A and B are shown apart, each in its own frame.
Chain A
Amino acid sequence: MLITATEKGLHCPAGDFYIDPWLPVPRAVLTHAHGDHARAGSEQYFAECSSEGVLRQRLGAELSLVTKRYGERFQLGAAEVSLHAAGHVLGSAQIRVRVDNETWVVTGDYKRAPDPTCAPFEPVVCDVLISEATFALPCYRWPETREVIAEIWRWWQSNREQSRASVLFCYAFGKAQRVLAELMAHTSESVFLHGAVLPLVEEYRRAGIAMLPAEPVVREKRADYRGALIIAPPSAAGTPWMRRFADASTGFCSGWMRIRGARRRRGYDRGFVLSDHADWPALIHTVAESHAKKILLTHGYSDALVRFLREQGVDAAALRTAYGEEE
């Protein structure tokens, strides 16, 4: 076993390092900088170059961090390690581990749809694939990004015609920037950003990602936001911070919005199906492309995908991890 699940996280004994550990360890290799994958407290971190800014913002400027470029091979103990683009967020990586002619790949979170804010997913052939399974049910199939963005644009414009503000809830790191970049196909106007989104947008700008101009939400008067688009994290919904937008229309960008009941339960006016994870067809496609002899699945609907793959004659099993399912 090149990689095993331990109580601290996925461990590679040959290289004596952990992948996305949830408890402090001496050496951590990170797939990406989302909070449930990049946790503080470890002595030394390895991650892809373009994730450095966000990682230091989140885990501290003094972080002991070694950065590597996609495809660059480096040695940790007896293991040869390399990082490959996962297409999830800026700097997200799959981790390829090679020991004695055996290759394992840990995908971390990934998607196959194009995204102007990060490098596209790179298929990597391996013997064992450890894949995420957040949306592993056949009802999760993503519409074309272009169509979803056009829908967001139409929603914003129709609210503007009624002098209403549009508050779009997005995960602050990744989704918000993706939306800001994609909306450039329709406009070059400035939008407003919640305080939790702003520093991450600046980090993306430093990485050279083109996005709509933006300013922070500081003004209090409702009139300032009439017809405007405001991007905020889901945690801002229902807080006093929202009052300044008065009768704003609310929308949420997430793969979970594929299901009508999930949207209605959360009380948003609109749900936009935009995910940074692989949908059902992409998961199946990625498993096939890896040519792996064995598939291990983490978080989400791993049980369903395991059973489905087994019935197709693929050797598959679930792996217990502590990663979240937020999006």
Chain B
Amino acid sequence: MRAFSELFENLDTTTSTNEKLAALTRYFRAAEPSDAAWAAYFLSGRRLKRLIGGAMLRRWLLEETGLPEWLLEETYAEVGDLAETVALLVDNVQGHVQEDVPLEEWIERLLNLRDLSDVQQREQVARWWHELDARGCFLLNKLLTGELRVGVSAGLVERALAQVTGHSRPVIAHRLMGTWQPSASFWRFLHSEADAAGDRTRPYPFCLASPLEANPESLGIPSDWLIEWKWDGIRAQIIRRAGSVHIWSRGEELMTDRFPELVEQALQLPPDTVIDGEIVAWREGRVRPFGELQQRIGRKKLNAKILADTPVHIIAYDLLEQSGEDIRSLPISDRRQRLEAMLTDRPWATLSPQIKDASWQELKQHRDASRSRCVEGLMLKRLDSAYGSGRQRGTWWKWKIDPYSFDGVLMYAQPGRGRRANLLTDYTFAVRDGETLVPVAKAYSGLTDEEISRVDRWIRQNTIERFGPVRSVKPQLVFEIAFEAINESKRHKSGVAVRFPRIARWRIDKPASEANTIDDLRGLLRVGPAESQGEASANAG
């Protein structure tokens, strides 16, 4: 693991992209095929299923260090990373030189832990803690908890692998999609000639839109664009091969088993077809809110009742492969025509409707009415655009509806994780409920670094009480919190749960007495699909 550990160190100790790229190619060229495959696995953001839980590691660490539990918790809050906390607290046995074990063998050792009893696991892991140097100990814990994140983008890993294998980046990106078993044979597959059989069941890299922040008028005339609703479901590729169907989510998860009825329908497609579309909850020819789909995905086992209660459907919007031919480089106007023809022959899915002949002004009104249609806004795709790999700028835009928002009072704060370790950046916000405050949302992101350090200082000076790393503060600071949706919730004290809350801005101009109330939020619950008319803020103005 020494070479991998050095690679990690090299990536972690530079902010220069070129240096990171050089370190990656150096490693891939020198490593054994099986180690290189494992490194590619971790570097592309994949992880081992968690072998040992965080709570277990903490207990073992308590026993190893003999520190009081509260002190360990404070230290953990300071460090902001459990794997690193262990590496900083455990003594490395002086003078012990660990033999260099290949990465693959380390993974095997870790997987073997599963067959051991708790006591044996603890003994084994504690021994490694003492034997490895601090960096090795840190990596070991990251692998154990399945949290190894390396500071490189997927694109950079693709570039490095493209250099090492001599393939183009799109070929590499395609081969890294989906699930795969890291091994010497996978490494050979990465190097193999194009059109290898291994490519056949993998999804293509998804073409992703960028958020539209500019005025849509800056995009020219609407008739240059293919304009569709932005559906609120699960984006997926449906791969139809002879005798089989594979459904991959945008998160590169194989979801074929989750949607048996869709597999049945997709079998009607001609073989060697790949379609990009949205899986949505569906009833009486209409899309249902995302929450319904979520409930179905949450179920471990599907039965007839669930299938009947939450029917799903595919809204198809792109055709990537036809009769075995990769047509991603054709303009979307062409691909769309072919998709239309295909669906006319066998109407197994709904063609994503196109909004035609509308001015930007009319489109803006459509967008504002998104919530009544259970959609998130509009998608704008240039008619001449190819199906690119990854995030696009200039050719594909998502023009999302403005989020909901409320003004909340900062009530609790605790230190962040990772690069926000030791800074109080994880906040809980409350709204007014008569004379008291009731917490409704936690939010971590949205402030600038400068604002974060100002709020951090304010919190330290205005702490009322401390509960371990959590502080309650004087109810004075008001922040505007943006969020995507609101639902009733029995699990929350406030009775409501908001989806994806984040800080929109610091309302320095507002005292806590002017924050929103719980009734303002409850009022939004009623703004269901049928009634909402775009106005969707708890704010008075």
Which A residues fall within an 8 A CB radius of B? 137-139, 141, 247, 249, 258-262, 264-265, 267, 269-270, 301, 304, 307-308, 311
Contact = CB atoms under 8 A, between A and B. Distances in A.
A301 to B, nearest CB: 8
A311 B68 contact: yes
A261 B89 CA distance: 16
Given A261-B419, A262-B421, A141 B15 contact: no
A261 B420 contact: yes
Given A259-B84, A260-B84, A269 B421 contact: no
B337 interface: no
B16 interface: yes
Given A261-B421, A264-B419, A269 B79 contact: no
Interface stretch (B69-77, B224-232, B384-392): B69-77
Nearest to A155: B13
A301 B67 CA distance: 16
B34 interface: no
A259 B71 contact: no
A269 B18 CA distance: 13
Interface of B: 12-16, 65, 67-68, 70-71, 74-75, 78-81, 84-85, 88-89, 151, 417-423
Contacts, number: 64
Nearest to B22: A162
A138 B67 contact: yes
Contacts of B70: 307
Given A259-B422, A261-B419, A261-B420, A269 B13 contact: yes
Contacts of A269: 13-16
A304 B71 contact: yes
Contacts of B68: 308, 311
B417 A261 contact: yes
A308 B67 CA distance: 9
Contact of B78 (A139, A270, A308): A139
A249 B15 CA distance: 9
Contacts of A259: 78-80, 84, 88, 421-422
Contacts of A247: 16
A265 B423 contact: yes
A243 B68 CA distance: 48
Contacts of B423: 265
A160 B71 CA distance: 43
Nearest to B16: A247
B89 A138 contact: yes
Nearest to A143: B134
Q: Count chain A CB atoms within 10 A of each CB in B14, B88, B89 and give the residue with the most.
A: B88
A327 to B, nearest CB: 14
A219 B299 CA distance: 67
Given A139-B88, A311-B68, A261 B79 contact: yes
A249 B130 CA distance: 33
20 contacts: A137-B75, A138-B65, A138-B88, A139-B85, A247-B16, A249-B14, A258-B88, A259-B80, A259-B422, A260-B12, A261-B80, A261-B417, A261-B422, A262-B421, A265-B419, A265-B421, A269-B13, A301-B74, A307-B71, A308-B71
A61 to B, nearest CB: 35
Contacts of B71: 137-138, 304, 307-308
A180 B172 CA distance: 48
A141 to B, nearest CB: 7
Contacts of B79: 139, 259, 261
Contacts of A265: 419-421, 423
A169 to B, nearest CB: 14
Given A262-B422, A264-B419, A139 B15 contact: no
A269 B10 CA distance: 10
In the A-B complex, the 3 residue pairs with the smallest Cβ-Cβ separation, listed nearest first, are A261-B421, A264-B419, A265-B419
A15 B23 CA distance: 63
Contacts of A141: 88
Contacts of A301: 74
Contacts of A264: 151, 418-419
Given A261-B80, A264-B418, 20 more contacts: A138-B65, A138-B75, A139-B78, A139-B79, A139-B85, A259-B79, A259-B88, A260-B12, A260-B84, A261-B79, A261-B84, A261-B420, A261-B421, A262-B422, A264-B151, A264-B419, A265-B420, A265-B421, A265-B423, A270-B13
A286 to B, nearest CB: 18
A258 B74 CA distance: 16
Q: Count chain B CB atoms within 10 A of each CB in A261, A269, A301, A311 and give the residue with the most.
A: A261
